């Protein structure tokens, strides 16, 4: 080995040792800085819920060390800072005083930001959550759900730029608390954990139906095995989805403390009055769901909203008309299977007004074909000149009805059905569904339908009806059973259009 080679080795060792010393110094400096930051954030209130003047005075006296939110920096929206408002106190009080919280909220009102700040405060202000876990559920895939973890860590960037937290993809440690994010596609992975203090599920009403069903089991399992506090927050979606079922106490009865935060809670605060007015004028139906807590689902593309409104106006105009004993009456019945309801509607056809007026509407959940057939026959005795167009896919239900009327059960072919004499007329939905949707569209847009607003599920099905080339997308259409019943009914309407 030459002297030159030895010099290189000594130089390399020296540089490595120097780098290690710098790394140790940096690590020591960072540790000192983090410790100082933790001490500054320790044992302080989340927010001073006093009047604004007292809080302002305290803010000045303590040099912005009055509360957690002032220390890390106030919430921002469009580069503008906002204090915490009364509506946010409602949320924090609900979390502090209840085991499980359900929040139906207006879009953009700031609930996600508030809850992330609250959870960060719980981790940093005391050792209460040392060794515990917090789970967050948001986004359909890991790359999307990871954004909420990044958002949580970034709460400290503005005023603590040198603070670094131990972090992995979808995982973060705040102080001594483990925080893990789960995408909606991995909800089943939530099972099996212990020592979970908080489970925050964001925008749960927009999960896929299968994911919402899985979420039900997860929530029940956490209730059984731990004292985990569950926070469920979302803008409302469909009236047959998770949030509506919880609100109506169909599931989790008395399990959640419920909060309703429509746009009025943020008006003149987080929401500018002119902005809200523009949003309302842009699309009333969209506004009602996004800001006014109405369950509407996706707005459909089949029936123009203006024509649906005209149909309801006609419904109001003619709702007090007595049943005409000489008019033709037609009913439509979409028989439900195990996972769906049976919907029934009856209309009176007014040949003079050329109007199809809905006079009866019913929904049957978990009723047998025999019970439905009995009710149909009872309605037949009350309403004269009544014929039924029914979904022929449920042969057992059709035969129950035909038996009640004493009609032939041999109806496999079209020529077997006597439209003039039979009261029960089966329809091949598989072959005729597109034509029936087209026919219903023509009746509605030609202002031939009168629908009383009390038939709200039928109206909602019209508003959310979504189709491609008149092939109805039933997963997007809310209360599609009601729309199918109306389609069947209108098959018997032969007005000149």
297: in domain: no
Q: Classify residue 377 as left (phi > 0), alpha (psi -120 to 50) or beta.
A: alpha
Sign of CA dihedral 422, 428, 429, 433: negative
Q: Going by DSSP bridges, is the β-strand pair 229-234/196-202 parallel, antiparallel, or unpaired? A: parallel
Rounded to an integer, the average pLDDT of 73-82 is: 91
Q: What is the pLDDT of residues 470-490, one digit of tens each?
A: 999 998 898 999 999 999 999
127 and 254 belong to one structural domain: yes
pLDDT of residue 381: 92
Encode 433-458: b = buried (16+ Cβ within 10 Å), e = exposed: beebbebbbebbbeebbbbbeebebb
Q: What is the pLDDT of residues 144-172, one digit of tens each?
A: 778 888 899 899 999 988 877 888 888 89
Rounded to an integer, the average pLDDT of 452-459 is: 95
244 pLDDT band, cuts 50/70/90, is: very high
Cα 251 to Cα 210, 237, 497, distances in angstroms: 16, 17, 46
pLDDT of residue 28: 38
pLDDT of residue 50: 80
| Structural domain for 449, as ranges | 305-491
261 pLDDT band, cuts 50/70/90, is: very high
Least Cα distance to 389 among 429, 340, 434, 330 occurs for 330
104: in domain: yes
3: in domain: yes
Cα 215 to Cα 139, 170, 251, 325, distances in angstroms: 14, 19, 12, 52
394 and 424 belong to one structural domain: yes
Q: What is the pLDDT of residues 15-69, one digit of tens each?
A: 555 454 444 444 334 444 556 666 778 889 999 998 788 898 888 888 888 999 9
282 and 170 belong to one structural domain: yes
Domain count, the chain: 3
pLDDT of residue 36: 61
pLDDT of residue 21: 43
Q: What is the pLDDT of residues 327-372, one digit of tens each?
A: 999 999 999 876 689 999 999 998 888 899 999 999 998 899 999 9
pLDDT of residue 286: 80
pLDDT of residue 6: 45
pLDDT of residue 338: 67
49: in domain: no
Q: What is the pLDDT of residues 167-196, one digit of tens each?
A: 888 889 998 999 999 988 888 888 878 789
DSSP letters along 367-423, please? --HHHHHHHHHHHHHHSSSEEEEEETT-HHHHHHHHHHHT--S--SSGGG--TTT-S
Average pLDDT value for the chain: 87
Question: What are 266-270's contacts with CB under 8 Å, separation 24+?
Answer: 266/85, 266/87, 266/106, 266/108, 266/109, 266/110, 269/82, 269/85, 269/87, 270/77, 270/82, 270/85, 270/108, 270/109, 270/110
Rounded to an integer, the average pLDDT of 254-265 is: 95
125 and 212 belong to one structural domain: yes
495 pLDDT band, cuts 50/70/90, is: confident
427: in domain: yes
pLDDT of residue 106: 96
1 and 99 belong to one structural domain: no
Looking at 256, 290, 324, the residue that finishes a domain is 290
84 and 233 belong to one structural domain: yes
222 and 279 belong to one structural domain: yes
pTM metric for this prediction: 0.74
Contact call for residues 294 and 351 (beta carbons, < 8 A): no
64: in domain: no
93 and 35 belong to one structural domain: no
Least confident of 77-81, 181-185, 283-287, 408-412: 283-287
Q: Which residues contact 51 (CB under 8 A, 6 or more apart)?
A: none
| CATH code assigned at 152 | 3.40.50.300
159 and 211 belong to one structural domain: yes
Least Cα distance to 160 among 62, 40, 47 occurs for 40
Looking at 260, 290, 320, the residue that finishes a domain is 290
Q: Going by DSSP bridges, is the β-strand pair 229-234/257-261 parallel, antiparallel, or unpaired? A: unpaired
Give the angle 92-97-98 at the CA atoms, nearest 5°.
100
pLDDT of residue 204: 93
264 and 337 belong to one structural domain: no
């Amino acid at each position: 080995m030459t002297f030159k080679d030895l010099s290189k080795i000594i130089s390399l060792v020296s540089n490595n040792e120097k780098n290690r010393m710098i790394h140790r110094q940096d690590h020591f400096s960072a540790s000192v800085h983090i410790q100082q930051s933790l001490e500054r954030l320790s044992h302080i209130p989340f927010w001073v819920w006093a009047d604004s003047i007292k809080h302002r005075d305290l803010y000045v006296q303590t040099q912005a060390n009055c509360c957690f939110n002032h220390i890390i920096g106030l919430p921002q929206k469009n580069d503008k800072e906002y204090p915490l408002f009364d509506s946010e106190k409602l949320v924090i009080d609900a979390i502090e005083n209840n085991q499980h919280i359900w929040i139906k909220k207006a879009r953009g009102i700031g609930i996600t930001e508030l809850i992330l700040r609250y959870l960060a405060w719980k981790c940093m202000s005391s050792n209460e959550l040392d060794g515990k876990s917090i789970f967050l559920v948001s986004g359909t895939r890991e790359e999307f759900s990871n954004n909420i973890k990044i958002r949580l860590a970034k709460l400290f960037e503005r005023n603590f730029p040198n603070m670094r937290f131990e972090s992995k993809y979808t995982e973060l440690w705040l102080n001594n608390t483990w925080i893990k994010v789960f995408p909606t596609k991995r909800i089943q992975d939530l099972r099996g954990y212990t020592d979970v203090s908080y489970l925050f599920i964001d925008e749960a009403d927009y999960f896929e139906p299968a994911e919402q069903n899985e979420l039900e089991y997860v929530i029940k399992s956490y209730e059984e095995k731990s004292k985990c506090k569950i926070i469920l927050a979302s803008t409302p979606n469909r009236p047959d989805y998770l949030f509506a079922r919880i609100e109506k106490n169909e599931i989790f009865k008395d399990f959640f403390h419920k909060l309703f935060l429509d746009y009025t809670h943020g008006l003149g605060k987080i929401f500018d009055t002119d902005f809200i007015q523009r949003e309302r004028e842009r699309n009333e139906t969209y506004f009602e769901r996004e800001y006014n807590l109405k369950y509407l689902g996706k707005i459909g593309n089949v029936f123009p909203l203006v024509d649906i409104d005209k149909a309801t106006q006609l419904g109001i105009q003619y709702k007090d008309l007595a049943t005409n004993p000489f008019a033709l009456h037609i009913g439509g019945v979409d028989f439900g299977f195990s996972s769906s309801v049976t919907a029934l509607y009856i209309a009176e056809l007014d040949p003079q007004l050329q109007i199809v007026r809905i006079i009866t509407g019913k929904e049957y959940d978990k009723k047998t074909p025999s019970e439905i057939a009995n009710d149909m026959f009872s309605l037949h005795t009350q309403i004269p000149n009544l014929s039924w167009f029914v979904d022929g896919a449920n042969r057992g239900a059709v035969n129950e009805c035909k038996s009640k009327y004493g009609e032939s059960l041999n109806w496999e072919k079209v020529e077997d059905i006597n439209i003039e004499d039979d009261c029960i007329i089966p329809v091949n939905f598989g072959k005729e569904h597109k034509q029936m949707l087209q026919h219903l569209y023509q009746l509605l847009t030609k202002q031939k339908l009168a629908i009383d607003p009390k038939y709200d599920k039928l109206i909602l099905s019209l508003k959310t009806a979504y189709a491609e080339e008149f092939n109805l997308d039933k997963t997007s259409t809310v209360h599609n059973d009601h729309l199918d019943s109306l389609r069947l009914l209108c098959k018997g309407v032969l007005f000149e259009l």
